Amino acid sequence: MRESIHKTVLLNETIEGLNLQNKSVVLDATFGGGGHSKAILEKYPNVKIIALDQDKSVSKSLIDPRISFHNLNFRDLDKVLEKGVDGIIFDLGLSSDQLENSGRGFSFIKNEPLLMTMKENPRPEDLG
């Protein structure tokens, strides 16, 4: 799994609140840097993760076979859920990775246009 500069908040509280078993299936609806999923897999090595994220840069370096990654917004979760899951995580908002990586325009930290888009190379029609 790739390294992220994002610091996952409420990590232990989230995992404890899921009350998982070691053979559970978890939907991480906002995968991002994978902090929650990575911690779950460390604690429960037989858990399967269904991961969603609309950010295309997220999937480039996923290498864990226990994670089924889908480049989708969580509004499309019905497209990947054939059966029920044992837990769901929605960590809403922008991650540090999205704020720090140039080209997205989510912040004034970088000297770039404030595009505020999830697309890495947006076309003019994407910004309307």
Q: Kindly state the average pLDDT of the residues 85-108.
A: 77
Enumerate the CATH 3.40.50.150 domain ranges in the chain, comma separated: 1-93
* CATH architecture of structural domain 1-93: 3-Layer(aba) Sandwich (3.40)
Distance CA(69)–CA(48), nearest Å, equals 11
Q: How far, in Å, CA of 88 to CA of 66, rounded?
A: 16
User: What pLDDT sits at residue 92?
Assistant: 84
Q: Which of 65, 71, 73 is nearest to 90 (CA)?
A: 73
pTM over 0.85: no
2 pLDDT higher than 60? no
